[in-house]
């Protein structure tokens, strides 16, 4: 009986920790705008055909943010997806909703951000999606190690990440 109660408490504690995902305190959307290179992601159906050189470009568009995602498929052909994001939490700008297929929106939460906006971690409350973004096609190993520790502390499993091959040169 005690083991059962302990197991239930542990399970409840784990489930409760999974429901609380902390975002960064503030995102300056002007500084966030621009091109980002995807360094890693949790596998997802949206990017199933993306083989390498995945980028995201954000631009302020009135009260929304335009989103342009690009990648190169295995056959070498490029593909582009365009969408819109709207701020959900105006106090921080760290929680957005993104759509590529209106009227369906997904959570886009900035859960890690370098003070100089050199890298960002984007996730969502269920921990089903995660992206590590950078202003450059790669980051120093010690920086990546720190990011991996952060995502682990946020309830993600770094070992599940798909590392994105970047053959592009930063512009």
pLDDT in tens, 44-60: 998 999 999 999 999 99
Q: Is 18 a residue whose pLDDT tops 70?
A: no
Is 58 among the domain residues?
yes
Asked whether residue 19 is domain-assigned, the answer is yes
Specify the number of domains making up the chain. Answer: 1
With a cut of 90, say whether residue 87 has pLDDT above it: yes
Residue 51 in any domain: the answer is yes
**What percentage of residues in the chain have a pLDDT greater than 70?**
87
The CATH number given to whatever domain includes residue 65 is: 2.40.128.20
CA–CA distances in Å: residue 118 to residues 90, 101, 169: 22, 29, 16
pTM of the model: 0.87
Which structural domain, as residue segments, surrounds residue 147? Answer: 2-163
């Amino acid at each position: 009986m005690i083991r059962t109660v302990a197991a239930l408490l542990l399970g409840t504690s784990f489930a409760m920790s999974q429901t609380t995902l902390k975002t960064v305190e503030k995102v300056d959307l002007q500084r966030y705008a621009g091109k980002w290179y995807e360094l890693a992601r949790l596998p997802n159906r949206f990017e199933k055909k993306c083989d390498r050189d995945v980028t995201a470009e954000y631009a302020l568009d009135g009260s929304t943010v335009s989103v342009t995602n690009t990648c190169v498929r295995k056959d070498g052909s490029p593909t582009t997806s365009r969408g819109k994001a709207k701020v959900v939490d105006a106090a921080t700008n760290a929680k957005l909703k993104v759509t590529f297929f209106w009227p369906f929106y997904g959570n886009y939460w900035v859960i890690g951000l370098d003070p100089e906006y050199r890298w960002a971690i984007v996730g969502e409350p269920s921990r089903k999606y995660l992206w590590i973004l950078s202003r450059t096609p790669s980051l120093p190993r010690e920086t990546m190690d720190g990011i991996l520790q952060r995502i682990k502390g946020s309830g993600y499993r770094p070992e599940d990440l798909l590392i994105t091959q970047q053959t592009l040169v930063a512009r």
